[in-house]
Amino acid sequence: MIDLRSDTVTHPTPAMRRAMAEAEVGDDVYGEDPTVRRLEELAAATLERQAALFVPTGTMGNQIAVHLHTHPGSEVIIEARGHIFNFEMGAMAALSGALPRPVTTENGLLEPDQVEAAINPKVNYRTPTKLLCLENTHNLWSGLPMDAARTRALARVAHQHGLAVHLDGARIFNAATALQTSAAELARECDSVMFCLSKGLAAPVGSMLVGDADFIAEARRVRKIFGGGMRQVGVLAAAGLVALTEMVGRLAEDHARARRLAEALAEHPAVELDPARIQTNIIVFRLRPEAFAAAPLPPSQRFVAGMRERRILCGAFGALEVRMVTHYEIGDAEIEAAIRAVRDYLTA
């Protein structure tokens, strides 16, 4: 099987396996795991921030941040297709009593005036707006990277109105690679940043929450409340250190292969996709419903099933959207096999 469902499906590299086996460990709830400490120091230094916290998942990192930046009965502004709103199980409501205020965009990029318009006035009969969540790259918008200037402009508006800004930077290194800048630059104006080691960087588990020292001290408390206080977790942090030091430099390869696949997909009349929009490792495309005969299952699910029969795994979003994601286990041969399978299925 060629697995294009996500970059989360990657297996640890041989260097990670070795580092995991040899990791020096201790009880991290006591702050005694030297490997976790090294990873947290490296993450903070990479993002040019004071401190970082190792968390088991991106969702936990995001939700700790939401918890700290909001209070029950407050609102969170987020782009309508944002991960924190759509794929985190209603966690901001369940864990923090916060409400999302989704803002629809035409291209995945929020405008400062849209954010300003979504902030409720500070009066006794309106829900207080406390937080702006950004996402870079934007997963459901085909891995769209957002440049530092826009992030800065959005953060400025939020800060002027007393909101905090959290960046869901699950794939911030993909964004930095595509925009030829640093992750630190892309996150500079944000009060907190979460990034994942377990996506394109191929670590088996783990994400980092980064911010100033006081924020991270509080985040450590909330991580324990959320059940994320881990013990000899240096075995996982060791893989994270390899991810951060060895895997960032190769992300451009994933982007080039995603573009190649997108160009081939776009050639088919049943597919609606502008390959120029694919700047990182995620391809989300729409199937034209008129190209599919009426059937009980929606086109996206039939496409996914047809591809599975041809040994290619991809994901369906809604009735018409399909997602394919490249990662380090997808080489040129896998891309060519996927292209052949798409052609074969869509022609059939």
- For ligand TLP, the closer CB: 119 or 131: 131
Closer to ligand TLP by Cβ: residue 209 or 270: 209
Widest Cα–Cα separation across the chain: 61
Strand order in the sheet with 75-79: 51-55, 207-211, 192-196, 164-168, 129-135, 75-79, 99-103
Does 228 sit near ligand TLP (CB under 6 A)? no
- Interface stretch with ligand TLP, choices 56-64, 220-228, 233-241, 259-267 (CB under 6 A): 56-64
Could you tell me the smallest distance in angstroms from the CB atom of residue 82 to ligand TLP? 8
Q: Which of 151, 207, 280, 281 binds ligand TLP (CB under 6 A)?
A: 207
Contact present, 103 and 78 (Cβ < 8 Å): yes
For position 6 contacting ligand TLP by CB under 6 A, the verdict is yes
CA angle, 36 as apex, 33 and 41 as ends, to 5°? 125
Token readout for 176 is 């930095």
Which one, 84 or 119, has the nearer CB to ligand TLP? Answer: 84
What tokens appear for 81 in the block? 């297709």
Choosing from 53, 132, 196, 251, the residue that interacts with ligand TLP (CB under 6 A) is 196
Please state, as a whole number, how many other Cβ atoms lie within 10 Å of the Cβ of residue 227. Answer: 9
* Count of residues in the chain: 348
CA 165 vs. chain centroid, Å, equals 16
Restricted to residues 61-90, the positions that interact with ligand TLP (CB under 6 A) are: 62, 83, 87
User: 66 vs 216, which CB is nearer to ligand TLP?
Assistant: 66
Q: What secondary structure does DSSP assign to 233-258, as a single string?
A: THHHHHHHHHHHHHSGGGHHHHHHHH
Number of residues near ligand TLP (by CB under 6 A)? 15
CB of residue 288 vs ligand TLP: minimum separation in angstroms? Answer: 24
Closer of 57 and 232 to ligand TLP (Cβ): 57
Cβ atoms of 181 and 150 within 8 Å: the answer is no
Q: Which is nearer to ligand TLP, 270 or 330 (CB)?
A: 330
182 binds ligand TLP (CB under 6 A): no
Nearest partner of 267 among 337, 348, 340, judged by Cα? 340
- Residue 267 CB, nearest distance to ligand TLP (Å)? 26
Residues 6+ apart with CB under 8 A from 226: 60, 63, 64, 67, 95
Decide: is 313 part of the binding site for ligand TLP (CB under 6 A).
no
Least Å from the CB of residue 24 to ligand TLP:
25
Cα of 261 vs its chain's centroid, Å: 21
46, 139, 281, 300: residue in contact with ligand TLP (rule CB under 6 A): 139
Alpha-carbon gap, residue 199 to 231, rounded angstroms: 23
Nearer Cβ to ligand TLP (119/174): 174
- Residues engaged in binding ligand TLP (CB under 6 A): 6, 8, 57-59, 62, 83, 87, 135, 139, 168, 170, 196, 198, 207
